[in-house]
Amino acid sequence: MDNDELVGYVNRYHKTVYRLAYSYVKNCADADDICQDAFVKLMDYSGKFASEEDCKRWLIRVVINLSKNLLKSCRFTRTTELNEDIPLETAADGELLALVKQLPIKYGECIHLYYYEGYSVKEIAEILKISQTAVTSRLSRGRNRLKTLLTEGNDYE
């Protein structure tokens, strides 16, 4: 892969990769490290992608794997979380993303990929290597948990 091609991928997908990593590790510094590692892996990748979408899917899979590996590492389990917020375009989006971060990872990743990245249920199933039924169940359960979090302490209903 040449430098111009790599720079193009970084420019197009950095925000997506960063947000996904942050949704797992909930820490800006670790999310930055995961982004860097993902793009280094892309730079070292010797194959060719059939389309831009294939590259994006490949990067998402790499970020998920790197994030899960970090969460399993001894270093990560012995640290305490700082309250850092991911920069977002609007306050409402930030509030909702903060609630999505409170969900268990299996629900949060499906909701993130579906609503923030625009993937279909079938595409999410391929990316996460789970069945489409599992994706729809996770989306439904995640939405229900979000609804509970949104209405908690509020008289919206």
Domain boundary among 87, 105, 139: 87
pLDDT in tens, 12-37: 999 999 999 998 888 888 899 999 99
Both structure tokens of 133:
């039924």
pLDDT at 135 > cutoff 80: yes
Both structure tokens of 149:
């979090």
What CATH number is attached to the domain comprising 105? 1.10.10.10
Q: Which of 56-65, 81-90, 106-115, 125-134 has the lowest mean pLDDT?
A: 81-90
pLDDT in tens, 58-81: 999 999 999 989 888 766 554 444
Whether residue 98 sits in one domain with residue 150: yes
Q: In which domain, by residue range, is 71 found?
A: 1-87
Q: Report residue 147's pLDDT band, with 50, 70 and 90 as the boundaries.
A: confident
What CATH number is attached to the domain comprising 45? 1.10.1740
* H helix or E strand, kind and range, residue 47: none
Whether residue 5 sits in one domain with residue 45: yes
Domain boundary among 68, 87, 106: 87
Whether residue 97 sits in one domain with residue 24: no
* Residue labelled with tokens 């490949």: 58
* Average confidence (pLDDT) over 120-147: 91
In the chain, what percentage of residues exceed pLDDT 70? 83
Whether residue 114 sits in one domain with residue 55: no
Whether residue 77 sits in one domain with residue 94: no
Of residues 84 and 143, the one with the higher pLDDT is 143
Whether residue 93 sits in one domain with residue 76: no
The total of other beta-carbon atoms located within 10 Å of residue 32's CB is 14
Whether residue 102 sits in one domain with residue 81: no
Q: Is the dihedral of CA 132, 92, 35, 72 positive or negative?
A: negative
Q: How many domains does the chain have?
A: 2
Both structure tokens of 18:
């960063």
pLDDT at 95 > cutoff 80: no
Whether residue 95 sits in one domain with residue 69: no
Write down the pLDDT at residue 64. 93
Whether residue 51 sits in one domain with residue 14: yes
